[in-house]
DNA sequence: TTGTAGGCGTTATCAG
DNA sequence: CTGATAACGCCTACAA
């Protein structure tokens, strides 16, 4: 951006040494400087619209005051609220957020991770972790500050903030049972993610708790949390002759895919078949029909993760913790008693 | 991130001087170095997972290899596609994107602008400009590299990439006229933005071109491109006793607000009243009813803006240009002939 | 082809 | 309270 004024110029204008100017402008050290000179320096800084050069400062202090955020894809409406939560908390603390889209591509993820390292980010918020993600396990072990959001890594003590998957699914299944459903299917998510796996387990357990036996044909797994994959998996189930009266989708994107297939097969929702999603992502309430789903407080997840990261900056030896935020069942119009 | 290896360490491991290591690792200068030593250096770099410190490099080269992006709010589904377009092009050129949300708050915008300046961004992509936006006019004049997306600034030669608002609205109005509508309203956007103003003008002109006289009561302006404001403005129009048979909304968010009010007033869309939005933002096709709207290629707008910025980095004296990308009318189920 | 010296803008550490 | 000096990690003349 052309030529930013430097501290030296501010100092000259104020008639003091660079060091003094530095001290005057730095809240932490400004108490050591004469109020009068302080005012002069601040005036000069204001007049020149001085902004300290973050790169120079970072080089000296070995802190970039920036945090990297790894997400699969910003255009998936699930993530912007999380990112906003992160940004709002971080910005208030003076940190800048660097967002990187991995597109679920491991190579890309490594590359982006390295770019972020090159930029000397002080820490990372990661929404793309897989259950056995060597990249983050190693980095965490090596001392990189990482907080996981949404998904966890198996057998690892990387701190994390997630929604209550287990309880969310339990409520969804319970709700369908209460409506009278007995053939409840699950279109699961990818099993190499903690969310995909955890929600499937929760579904199994919920049926078990209700004393219902599970029909393995009513469980299919999507290979990604996408509409297309949700549709593919649902089609596979239906094509195998398994027609449930209700479906619990592993997330809202997958539920969208279910809905697409219901349309193809002339299955009206909720008259012929009920559907529950997961996440309550933006705009899912305006679908036809408005989707019943499990709400997870995404903004708070992001905000909490950022706070956790900041805490760890302050005290690097803080014990690892994992926060689970409560889920809520949001009933709209995609669920109804089974038709006979 | 703990202690990144430095160039010095790489050099030591390879048994060469720092300078040589620097040259070996830098594509531009690597031709000056002995192939054998080059291999040694590269091996050492790989083993240490060396990443050049972007801050140190930036300090020396006076370029941060980063670009700031100013948007109102990431959770508005209009923006993620634009941001993705920007990021994809920029990342391919080795640039990092810094996203900042202004929330339409001028003070916040100034603050974020300064933060970005502090980070020494090499340029800016701005989606938040107002028609008379002193901040960007001044910055542009002072030599800051800026490209505007979506919105323009009046009487200014800041380069920009926008969708074809005029043609888009013209097609929408034409379509409604062709369906037989004669009482066509416009819920306009904020008039201090080029999009809000431009679309209103286009609406007027389109009526005029069709030889229809404009009923001033059928034009209301929202104070923001939001669902709430769209609803407020629509309510005001209806409360004034003006009931159109069709509405052209200044964008999809406003259209959402229109739909809300139609619901309140028991006006069925499209049976009783037709509606056309603008932007074709994600998920607007899954509404009840699926919204007819004007599609603007947002990803391409972002990508094109990034390319323009890169061009200007390469040649700072490039003449300013403004690119307009074509709009398309997307007909879905929110428009129908007027009922009698 | 490789090494030496200096400096980018800032702050930490001394000394005055 | 203020000033001098060095250093952060990298790059770029210039010299060898």
- Is residue B314 located within the same domain as residue B291? no
Query: Which amino acid residue lies closest to nucleotide D7, measuring CA to C1'?
Result: A60
Q: Could you read off the pLDDT of A264-299 as tens digits, one per residue?
A: 999 999 999 999 999 999 999 999 899 999 999 999
Residue B274 lies in domain: 165-296
Same structural domain for residues B113 and B41?
no
User: Which pLDDT score is estimated for B223?
Assistant: 97
Look at residue B139 and tell me if it is in a domain.
yes
Tokens for B269, please give them.
């869309």
Distance between CA atoms of residues B48 and B37, nearest Å? 17
Cα B298 from Cα A335, distance rounded (Å): 35
Question: Are residue A290 and residue A303 in the same domain, yes or no?
Answer: no
For chain A, report the end-to-end CA distance as a whole number of angstroms: 69
Q: Is residue B76, in this structure, part of any structural domain at all?
A: yes
Strand partners, A101: A71
**At a CB cut-off of 8 Å and minimum separation 6, what does B121 contact?**
A1, B64, B66, B67, B68, B98
Q: Which of A251, A157, A261, A237 is nearest to A200 (CA)?
A: A251
Paired tokens of B289: 């009813």
Instruction: Examine the domain organization and report whether B176 and B91 are in the same domain.
Output: no
Record the pTM: 0.95
- Cα B7 from Cα B26, distance rounded (Å): 12
- Residue A277 and residue A195 share a domain: yes
The helix/strand/coil state of B231 is helix
B24: left (phi over 0), alpha (psi -120 to 50) or beta: alpha
Contact B52 A87 (CB under 8 A): no
- CATH of residue A131's domain is 3.40.50.2300
DSSP state of A330: E
B104 and B158 share one domain: yes
- Coil, strand, or helix at residue A113? helix
How much is the pLDDT for A68? 98
Cβ contacts of A99 on chain B, cutoff 8 Å: 87, 97, 99
Q: What is the pLDDT of residue A340?
A: 67
* Residue B2, pLDDT score: 57
- pLDDT tens-digit readout, A37-49: 999 999 999 999 9
Q: What is the mean pLDDT of residues B46-75?
A: 95
In chain A, what is the greatest distance between 2 CA atoms, to the nearest angstrom? 88
What is the DSSP code (8-state) at residue A31?
Answer: G
Q: pLDDT tens digits, residue range A106-155?
A: 999 999 999 999 999 999 999 999 999 999 999 999 999 999 999 999 99
**What pLDDT sits at residue A2?**
57
Q: Is the CB of B43 under 7 A from strand C?
A: no
Please give the structure tokens belonging to residue B82.
Answer: 């634009």
The domain total for chain B is: 3
Q: What is the pLDDT of residues A86-97, one digit of tens each?
A: 999 999 999 999
Q: pLDDT-based confidence at A1, cuts 50/70/90? A: very low
Clarify whether residues B184 and B145 are in a common domain.
no
Q: Based on the fold, state whether residues B170 and B290 are members of the same structural domain.
A: yes
What contacts A31, CB < 8 A, 6 or more positions away?
A: none
Yes or no, beta carbons of B64 and A80 under 8 Å apart:
no
Is there contact between B34 and strand D, defined as CB under 7 Å from any strand atom? no
Contact B55 A119 (CB under 8 A): yes
With beta carbons under 8 A apart, name residues in chain A contacting B98.
96-98
B185 and B280 co-located in one domain: yes
Residue B276 lies in a domain: yes
- Mean pLDDT throughout B212-236? 97
Same domain, B204 and B121: no
Does residue A320 fall inside a structural domain?
A: yes
pLDDT at A325 over 50: yes
Instruction: Name the residue of chain B whose CA is nearest to A51's CA.
Output: B118
CA dist A241 and A251 (Å) reads: 23
- Does residue B1 form part of some domain? no
Using CB atoms, pick whichever of A51, A81, A99 lies closest to residue B114. Answer: A51
Residues B159 and B303 in one domain: yes
- Choose the closest CB to B58 out of A55, A83, A98: A55
- Closest C1' nucleotide to A19's CA: D3
The arithmetic mean of pLDDT across residues B172-198, rounded, is 98
In a domain, B334, yes or no: no
Q: Is residue A173 part of a domain?
A: yes
Assigned domain for A234 exists: yes
Q: Would you state the pLDDT for residue B1? A: 47
For residues B140-168, give the mean pLDDT. 96
Cα–Cα distances (Å) from B203 to A6, B111, B150, B177, B206, in that order, read 50, 36, 18, 12, 5
> How far is Cα A56 from Cα A63, in angstroms, rounded to an integer?
10
**Cβ of B323 near strand D (distance < 7 A):** no
B94 and B155 part of one domain: yes
- A20-34, B147-161, B277-291 — which is least confidently predicted? A20-34
CA distances from B309 to A99, B67, B86, B90, B176 (A): 19, 9, 10, 9, 38
């Amino acid at each position: 951006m052309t030529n930013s004024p430097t501290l030296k110029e501010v100092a000259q204008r104020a008639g003091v040494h660079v060091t003094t100017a530095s001290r005057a402008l730095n809240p932490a050290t400004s108490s050591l400087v004469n109020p009068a000179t302080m005012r002069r320096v601040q005036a000069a800084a204001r007049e020149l619209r001085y902004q300290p050069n973050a790169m120079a400062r970072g080089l000296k202090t070995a802190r970039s005051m920036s945090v990297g955020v790894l997400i699969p894809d910003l255009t998936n409406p699930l993530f912007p609220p999380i990112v906003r939560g992160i940004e709002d908390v971080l910005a208030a603390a003076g940190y800048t957020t660097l967002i990187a889209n991995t597109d679920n591509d491991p190579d890309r993820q490594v590359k982006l991770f390295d770019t972020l390292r090159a930029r000397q980010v002080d820490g990372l918020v990661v929404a793309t972790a897989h259950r056995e993600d060597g990249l983050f396990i190693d980095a965490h072990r090596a001392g990189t500050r990482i907080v996981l959001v949404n998904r966890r890594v198996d057998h690892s003590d990387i701190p994390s903030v997630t929604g209550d998957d287990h309880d969310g699914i339990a409520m969804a299944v319970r709700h369908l049972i209460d409506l009278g459903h007995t053939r409840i299917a699950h279109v699961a998510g990818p099993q190499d993610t903690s969310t995909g796996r955890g929600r499937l387990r929760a579904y199994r357990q919920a049926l078990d708790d209700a004393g219902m036996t599970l029909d393995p044909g009513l469980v299919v797994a999507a290979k990604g949390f996408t509409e297309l994959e949700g549709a593919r998996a649902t089609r596979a189930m239906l094509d195998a002759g398994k027609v449930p009266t209700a479906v619990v989708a592993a997330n809202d994107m997958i539920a969208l895919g279910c809905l697409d297939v219901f349309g193809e097969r002339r299955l009206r929702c909720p008259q012929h078949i009920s559907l529950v999603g997961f996440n309550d992502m933006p705009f899912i309430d305006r679908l036809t029909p408005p989707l019943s789903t499990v709400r997870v407080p995404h903004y708070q997840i992001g905000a909490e993760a950022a706070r956790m990261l900041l805490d760890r900056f302050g005290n690097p030896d803080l014990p690892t913790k994992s926060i689970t935020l409560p889920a809520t069942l949001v009933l709209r119009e995609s669920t109804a008693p089974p038709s006979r």
